[in-house]
Every structure is written in structure tokens, then in C-alpha cells.
Structure 1
């Protein structure tokens, strides 16, 4: 959701090449080819436009403290995101996301526990069947990172929530296999569940005997965007259809 960082990409590629063990070359022979370095244009060619979530390559994971002994981890498997991306003016980019809370999965739940979490004491999914996030501002913090501020609506309450976002890379399209633009991001953040009215199970003050107020979350997502524009030259070079 921000400008590509080609110098960083090239530096990383050069570093990897320098750190890689040199191939064994028989005595008297010279290596026939130079090390292969990925094309930075392929990895960082973000195109402006509207991007939709690639649900086959996306995950939303969260964690909350349990008794001070561990992080209890869960995941929502049904969510959708629309990204309006402008690499030339990243501060004008914006994102909207919706989450289906009934898609919650947790590891090896005791019998009836998942239903309890979806019930009125916790997520109350019957009354509030959707969570929603809408960005308000995007601020670059480095060539590959940004802070995204927005409003999260949960259990009927709306409060500010910030995301720390890392741009993983993009390309304008890779026809014929993937003719649409593609971009990837990692985002993470945290929120106070009590701010949204979810106070059940909170530890007594000064204690960890319960489920913590702070909820941490991580999002990894790929997006598909506008298709590659075919030039007149490319069209004329294409074989004619009989």
C-alpha cells in the first residue's frame, strides 16, 4: 500500500548472493554463467488500482494471554479485504475489511467450548455477525513499512485500531499464468477487548488469573489487482487465430 523499495530489494539480493556458498568448479574450468539475481521489476512492480483479497493466500491469527502461562491462539478463516492502492501516493491508499466471527477455529477445543466462544458471553455472533475495519490514514515509516490507522467495529462498538504493515512485494502481472497485478503484505496490531465491551473472563486487577485484555493479531495476505495492459506491439506480435 506504499511505494516499492527497489534499492532494498537489490541490496538483499546482492547480500544473499554474497553469502551463498560458491559452487564447486572442477580444476581448470571456469563457471559458465553469473549468479542469478531476481528481477526487481518483477518483485516490486505494484500497479495502481483496486485490489481484492486472494483468499487462498491469506490468514488472520490472534492471541490472548491465558492465566499468564501461555498465549491462547485462534484464527478466523472467512474474511474479505478491498485495497485501493496508489504506489505513487501511498498516503492516499485505503483498505476496508470484514470478518465473519462464526469462522473462528481454535486448536483442539474441549466439547462445547467453541460454541461458548461464539455465544453471548464472548463473540455474541448471533447479535453481531460481522466485524469491520476501515482505514482512515496511511503514514509511511520506511520505504517498505507503514502505519495504517483506522476504525474497528466489534460488538456494536467502534474504536481506533492501528496496523503496522510491511510491504512484501508486488508485480504488475505474470501472463499467462497470473495476468493480474499481485501484491503481498504482512500486518500486525493489538487492541483492548474491554474497550469494545468484551469483559468476560478478565483477570482481577493485579492478577493474571483469566484471559488477558490485550488481543494481538497478525494478518498475511496477497491481493490481485488490475490486469496487465497489452500494448499494440504485443498484440501485433501475437499469432493470428485461424
Structure 2
């Protein structure tokens, strides 16, 4: 019997990196975690008919179980910190934080959960339907999804990464926000850009993110 040859220690880091970045076997959903730096929610809403007010929300957390070849197995759970909403002006942002609108003191998070997979359409397009909880109200919502790319990120730590773009429209009145209807539109257009990296270990569930330094504090009263 020939003696077994040991792998030189200098080769181990390269081997581990190759294993970590290797695509998953077909038919096996992998767990991906949102990259909060490269994930952003953008929204647009009518402002007295003059323009569309545009804001963004950063710092979302969550996970996606996803198989590139079988979208029907997808499971998504995302928490969006409404305290990180930004309209580009501290006073305007604070007015949206107030009880008459988002009431972020009582409802600091929104959450979207989709457990029944994604419906794949033509090419890289599909749909993810689930439940959105916003302002303390939970209602069904469907996202039109574009699967942009899957691959190894080109910079250290070279993690397996996937990226999506998504759009949806909802009515704020469906979530109990009915103030200032003559000034602020009811329809909210959403655009989401998301990157996720593969997580081989179970990560902790999303937690309520603290407001970033410099973010306006929610007003105590309307």
C-alpha cells in the first residue's frame, strides 16, 4: 500500500477559499444574508401633484434561502429599519417619523416575509409574494424581481454573492396612514436593490438596528 501524502500547509488557505466560493449543488437551496452596505430601499410618493418625493432606507437585515435553478424553493425574511429612512432634509424626515405617518417610536421596523418561493417568469425575471408588516399592519405584497447575478465577489473575502432588483407598489392607506391626503399621495412606488452573500453557518435573526449617527431622532409628539 502506498503511503498517503499530506497536503502542504501552505495549500490549505487556497483550498478552503475554493470550497467556500464553490457554487452549490443543483437543487440545494443555500442560505444568503443581506449585505446592508449594498442593499437599499427607495420609495417615491406624490407631493401635492408637483413632484414625486423620493426617499431611501438603508441598513436592512435578513436572509434568503435560494437555489439558482429552482426559485420555487426560495424563502425570504427581511427587516427594514424605518428609523433609517432619509428624505434628504432633517425636518421633512422628522415629520414622516411622527405619529400621523410612520410613527417610528411605536413601529420602528417594517418586515417582509415570503415563505412560498418565487415564481420564475421569462429569463431572469420573476415574482416574490409574501406578507409586509408596516405601521403595525400586515398585508400581502408581491415584488416583481430581477435576478441580476450570482458569482464570487471579486474582492476579499471573495464570498459567493447574489444580487437582485425588485419593484412594487403599495397604498399607505392600506397600512393605516391616512393623514394629509390632499398633500401626500396614497400610492407608494418601491424600488429595492439588494446584494446577499452566502452564509454557511446559521446567523442570528435580524434585530432592531439602532439609528445611525446623525440620523434625526423620532419626535415624541405629532
TM-score in same-fold range (> 0.5): yes
SS at match of 2:35: strand
Are the aligned partners of 1:53 and 1:80 in contact in 2 as well (CA < 8 Å)?
yes
CA displacement 1:70-113 (0-9 Å, x = unmatched) = 1001111221121111123211111111011111111235xx33
In 2: Cα distance, 1:91 partner to 1:223 partner: 18
Match of 1:94 in 2: 75
C-alpha root-mean-square deviation of aligned residues, in Å? 1.9
Match of 1:29 in 2: none
Are the aligned partners of 1:118 and 1:124 in contact in 2 as well (CA < 8 Å)?
yes
In 2: Cα distance, 1:108 partner to 1:72 partner: 11
Could you tell me which of 183, 187, 191 is aligned with 1:214? 187
Match of 1:105 in 2: 86
TM-score (norm 2): 0.73
Larger Rg: 1
In 1: Cα distance, 2:76 partner to 2:88 partner: 30
SS at match of 1:116: helix
Match of 1:124 in 2: 103
Residue 184 to residue 158, structure 1, CA distance change in 2 (3 Å): same
Match of 2:144 in 1: 164
- Most deviating of 174-183 and 138-147: 174-183
Are the aligned partners of 1:54 and 1:224 in contact in 2 as well (CA < 8 Å)?
yes
Give how far 1:46 is off: 5.7
SS at match of 2:173: helix
In 1: Cα distance, 2:103 partner to 2:89 partner: 21
CA displacement 1:95-150 (0-9 Å, x = unmatched) = 111011111111235xx332221111111011111110001431111120111111
Match of 2:65 in 1: 84
Are the aligned partners of 1:46 and 1:182 in contact in 2 as well (CA < 8 Å)?
no
Match of 1:146 in 2: 126
Match of 1:30 in 2: none
Matches for 1:217-232 after TM superposition, within 5 Å: 217-226=190-199
Residue 108 to residue 62, structure 1, CA distance change in 2 (3 Å): same
Residue 67 to residue 176, structure 1, CA distance change in 2 (3 Å): closer
CA displacement 1:172-199 (0-9 Å, x = unmatched) = x368834321111101111011011000
In 2: Cα distance, 1:159 partner to 1:63 partner: 20
TM-score (norm 1): 0.67
In 2: Cα distance, 1:106 partner to 1:174 partner: 31
SS at match of 1:114: helix
Are the aligned partners of 1:46 and 1:87 in contact in 2 as well (CA < 8 Å)?
no
Match of 1:198 in 2: 177
Match of 2:11 in 1: none
